[in-house]
Amino acid sequence: MSNHVNHLLSQWLPLKDKHKWVLGFIFKTQGSCYRKAGAMMLFSDAGHQLGILSGGCLESDIVKKAHRVMDDGKSRTAVYDDEDEEDIAFKLGVGCGGVVHLSLVSLNQDNQYLELDNVSRLLSQGTACTWECDIAGKQGKCTALDTLNVRPQKAKLEQQEGTQTLAVTHVPPIHLLVIGGGYDATFMTQMAKAQGWTVTLWDPRPAQARVEHFPEVNFLVEDTDIEALNIHIAQHGIHAAVLMSHHRDIDAKSLKLLSQHKLMYIAMLGPLHRKQEIMTLAGVSDTSFCDYFASPAGFDIGGDLPEHIALSVIAQCHAVFYKKPTGAS
């Protein structure tokens, strides 16, 4: 289970009325900190601890404060200053050198679960949303976003009628389509799932993409017709795709299909000269149909094993999604 907010909330949702719950969320940071504003963690009186608010160094103290909130129902804020020798963060040897401002609030029916149940519902449907919550945890608000391909952005702390309110944009996990079900694709799907991504796999060859070899994928499109893949893409909001069938016709047909959809990232394995060959077969003249087209696929990290390739591709896709440098000239 990953630490993506969608996964945390999916664990909490069926248990929300069975235990006392406290939500911890960072509303402001200064300097270097492991997690940034908007990070959240859920605590229960049964011992559940879902998510992380630091590298593990602050959680022991945070959980004590969370239990005090459970006991008296009163929200609390805490400040962890790694540069203050008298602060608990310094004594715990955190070492990041920054300041974390944290809120701990009750999460129950009385405050409508701060609408985190609605956040969970929208993210599970593949819909991005904005979540707003006052620092005292009295009211939460969830608003669905209509914009396609919403990207992550920094949380904003605002003053609204004398109340500090944190606004966080939550985006669903990246949905990656892997075309090709050979041995090397197992590393790609495993690494994508380790990030908390949703994964679809398709390969029209009967001997490939066997379900027993890919137990971690969310969707295995068994229909060999390319139109079945087209329908799946339209229905499930694919963000990114990796062409790794090592078969010219399969890659060409798939690329032609992908050119009809607006994807964030497409990567195609193989050397540079193969890119033009596949594009010619696909009848595609340019790559403007996606935000970023990588061929050869992934960052150049100096490795040639399947696990190295998977690492480089997943990292590059993540960088594109978060609008970070990709190394392209």
Q: Is 180 inside a domain boundary?
A: yes
Q: Is 327 inside a domain boundary?
A: no
State whether 109 and 147 are in the same domain: yes
State whether 310 and 197 are in the same domain: yes
Taking the C-alpha atoms of residue 139 and residue 83, their distance in angstroms, rounded to an integer, is 33
State whether 30 and 154 are in the same domain: yes
Q: Is 211 inside a domain boundary?
A: yes
> Residue 295 belongs to a domain with what CATH number?
3.40.50.720
Q: Is 326 inside a domain boundary?
A: no
State whether 46 and 153 are in the same domain: yes
State whether 205 and 84 are in the same domain: no
State whether 160 and 297 are in the same domain: no
For residue 241, give the nearest of 295, 304, 308 by alpha carbon: 295
State whether 146 and 262 are in the same domain: no
Taking the C-alpha atoms of residue 258 and residue 267, their distance in angstroms, rounded to an integer, is 11
pLDDT tens, residue by residue, 239-262: 999 999 999 999 999 999 999 998
| Global pTM value | 0.84
Check if the beta carbon of residue 140 is closer than 8 Å to that of residue 163: no
Taking the C-alpha atoms of residue 172 and residue 196, their distance in angstroms, rounded to an integer, is 10
* Strand residues in the chain grouped as ranges (E): 21-30, 40-44, 49-50, 76-81, 99-106, 129-134, 140-144, 156-160, 163-170, 175-179, 198-202, 219-221, 240-243, 263-268, 290-294
Which domain-ending residue is among 170, 199, 214? 170
Q: Is 166 inside a domain boundary?
A: yes
pLDDT at 303: 87
Three-state secondary structure call for residue 174? coil
pLDDT at 87: 45
User: Which DSSP symbol is given to 31?
Assistant: S
* Domain of 306, in residue numbers: 175-321
One digit per residue, the tens of pLDDT, for the chain of length 329 reads 467 899 999 999 999 999 999 999 999 999 888 889 999 999 999 999 999 998 777 888 999 999 999 999 999 999 998 654 444 444 444 446 688 999 999 999 999 999 999 999 999 888 999 999 999 999 999 999 976 667 888 999 998 778 899 999 999 999 999 999 999 999 999 999 999 999 999 999 988 888 899 999 999 999 999 999 999 999 998 999 999 999 999 999 999 999 999 899 999 999 999 999 999 999 999 999 999 999 999 999 998 899 999 999 999 999 999 888 876 54
Taking the C-alpha atoms of residue 114 and residue 118, their distance in angstroms, rounded to an integer, is 9
State whether 292 and 157 are in the same domain: no
State whether 140 and 289 are in the same domain: no
State whether 99 and 215 are in the same domain: no
Q: Is 41 inside a domain boundary?
A: yes
State whether 149 and 34 are in the same domain: yes
pLDDT at 328: 59
pLDDT tens, residue by residue, 42-80: 999 999 999 999 877 788 899 999 999 999 999 999 999
Q: Is 329 inside a domain boundary?
A: no
Taking the C-alpha atoms of residue 153 and residue 239, their distance in angstroms, rounded to an integer, is 17
Q: Is 328 inside a domain boundary?
A: no
Which domain-ending residue is among 154, 170, 186? 170
Sort strands 198-202 and 290-294 into parallel, antiparallel or unpaired: unpaired
Which domain-ending residue is among 152, 170, 188? 170
Split into its structural domains, the chain has a count of 2
pLDDT at 83: 57
State whether 16 and 31 are in the same domain: yes
pLDDT at 259: 96
